[in-house]
Amino acid sequence: MCGIVGYLGNKEAYPILIKGLRRLEYRGYDSAGVAIINDDNQLNVYKTIGKVSDLEDFCKDKNVSGHVGIVAGGGTVIDASSSNGKVVHRSLSSWWRNNFICGWRIF
């Protein structure tokens, strides 16, 4: 099951987003990503396969400053609507490509 946390406010978004995603991690995420708009209005998107701690490690040397952001964690994406009636496990990279930007636009 996916989890999405968003933040818009005066504080730095990244620590709040990570804390929120950690609270949802019991759902069994195997990937996570964060998108933050920095003070120069640039969108920085970082994503990893693994736990929330893997995302934190990946972002240690990245620009995660900003006051607007969204973070998402996901498990295996399952599509039970295949024509042969079998459950299909789709890759998470396609899930991010197709859904994360849509989620960002909604936010």
Beta-carbon contacts of 19 under 8 Å, excluding residues fewer than 6 positions away, are none
pLDDT bucket at 31, cuts 50 / 70 / 90: confident
CB atoms within 10 A of CB 104: 18
Which pTM does this prediction carry? 0.70
Contacts of 102 (CB under 8 A, 6+ apart): none
| Average confidence (pLDDT) over 11-36 | 88
Residue 15: per-residue pLDDT = 96
- Residue 62, phi then psi, degrees to nearest 5: -105, 160
Average of per-residue pLDDT across 48-74 = 90
Q: In this structure, what token pair is assigned to residue 25?
A: 């991690």
For residue 77, report the phi and psi dihedrals to the nearest 5 degrees: -85, 125
Please say if the pLDDT value at position 12 is more than 70. Answer: yes
Task: Report the pLDDT averaged over residues 43-51.
Answer: 87
